[in-house]
Chains A and B, each alone.
Chain A
Amino acid sequence: MMSERQPIIQARDVHFHYTPGRPVLKGITLDLGPGATAIVGQNGAGKSTFVRLLNGLLKPVEGQVLVAGVDTRQMTVAQLARTVGLVFQNPSDQLFKSRVLDEVMFGPLNLGFSAQEARERAEAALAELGLEGLEARNPYDLGLAERKLVTVASVLAMGTPVIILDEPTIAQDQVGVRQLGAIVDRLARAGRTVITITHDMEFVARHFQRVLVFQDGRVLADDTAEAIFAQPELLAAAGLQAPPITRLGQALGLPATVLTVEAFVEAVRAGEG
């Protein structure tokens, strides 16, 4: 069994392809543990493929993925779902119930919670995403932004130690992005392992301690958000850009890398003061 110190997810020289001769992942080795980790990188770099390997939907062609110390090849996806919750990139791939509440209760019920408990968990998750009042609606009738939030709620309600969000901020407005950020912060503080794929660099800068830069099936960099955003050449090579406020700080020659508007304002005031 797993010891206290063992990282909950270990990838060991993971290789993967959908079609032979077209490698998608080319040897990924890394550990993931408590806290918020962002995965960023170009379209087609293999980010979504990688997280599907973490919840067992895909199995490595070479190498291994260990979840809580066990090779994913030795477990079914349903067994892995007790540990790893995955929100898909495309909400239509995930939603299949005709009522929002049933959708969100589906996971907890499968994990063995009673109907009463499942309902409470579902309602709490919906509330955290600001979706109260939509319980009886059909997910298909909702807009893309709300549909995406329903998928997040349905995984959140399962309470898994590992939560993977594939591009949660798609179609979200400012309020939605803030809510998602608050959820990431809360889960990370509670010691859960939160892995988030995103192209929103401001979201990364604000909420993630660790950043993995994927490029062409490899991990190009693995560092803190500050360190990553301080390297324009690295970012350019991976099709990325630091958030505008960070670039403004760099252009004005602020001594430290600033990641948020508040930090920028403070740094400028400190310089003036």
Chain B
Amino acid sequence: MAVIEVENLRYRYPRQERLALDGITFTVEPGEFIGVIGPNLAGKSTLCQALVGLVPHFYKGAIGGQVRVAGLDVHRSTVAEVSRRAGLVFQNPFTQISGAKLTVYEEVAFGLEHAGVPREEMRRRIDEALRLLGLEAVKDQSPFALSGGQMQRLAIASVLAMEPEVLILDEPTSQLDPAGTEEVFEAVTALCRRGMAVVMAEHKVDRLAEHADRILVLHQGRQIAYGPPRQVFARENVAALGVAVPAVTQAAKALGWVLEDGTYPVTLAEAVAVGQARRGGR
């Protein structure tokens, strides 16, 4: 049973002419990791917000089509109801701090307290989230005395600790160092194995190529492609529209390096394998 079902979603912000989302249709099964890519203004953030109901409940505007998340009809449920099943990490980490808590540790507890999670369970989840995001060293610091990257880690940890059925992340690694980025992708992949469904908007296509099960490509509000990374990044129209393609794929295309099944490599490991075969067989 799909845990996210989006059907012909169309949306226009108030006082705007152009549709921000136009005919988006896709489904996600539990345990799947979906990457959403596309240039700025393609509608990535709008889509993320539509999945928890901020679009249209908060931003208003005109909406059409169907969005079902964790069994709820998002357009007919409140944001609060949807948020109990689906977590969203916003693009801007600086505005996600509750301001009600004194330390990083307590900040992660904020959502858990309101969800009525028992104290022992709460501590277990906070410890795990802090460990996954590498925040143990700053756990007693004030949430406002953090570097940008630390704050972004905190924003992710706070939502991860809620253990939602569906996790939506809007460019969660934009301010993370490369090791931190890798940690987030690995944490997310591990959670998928436990059955969580993940939708992540990202510009780091090489990481997505490595970890995501499927890629959704948006361009000016339209859905250009939806499929496994290797299939999507091979498509000519994707690169032509200014959508980023992994560097190793670009190189392989330029050199005509293809895998046995005729597609281009999208991960470093695949590219190394093809490259070695090519250069070794010379």
Contact = CB atoms under 8 A, between A and B. Distances in A.
Contacts of A271: 279
Contact of A175 (B177, B242, B255, B272): B242
A261 interface: yes
B114 interface: no
Interface in B251-282: 251, 254-255, 268, 271-272, 275-276, 279, 282
A163 to B, nearest CB: 19
B68 interface: no
A251 interface: yes
A145 B180 contact: no
A180 B129 CA distance: 35
Interface in B194-241: 203, 206
Given A43-B153, A240-B179, A243-B247, A92 B272 contact: no
A124 interface: no
Nearest to B182: A241
Given A199-B175, A248-B272, A44 B147 contact: yes
A272 B256 CA distance: 13
B177 A41 contact: yes
B94 to A, nearest CB: 5
Interface residues of A, number: 44
Contacts of B150: 43-44
B282 A272 contact: yes
A146 interface: yes
A261 B255 CA distance: 11
A43 B180 contact: yes
Interface string A132-151: 00000000000111100000
A244 interface: yes
A201 B177 CA distance: 10
B242 A174 contact: yes
A146 B150 CA distance: 23
16 contacts: A44-B150, A143-B41, A146-B40, A167-B175, A174-B203, A174-B242, A174-B244, A175-B39, A201-B178, A244-B206, A244-B246, A244-B247, A244-B268, A248-B248, A269-B255, A271-B279
The 6 closest A-B pairs by CB, nearest first: A43-B149, A239-B179, A173-B39, A245-B247, A241-B178, A145-B40
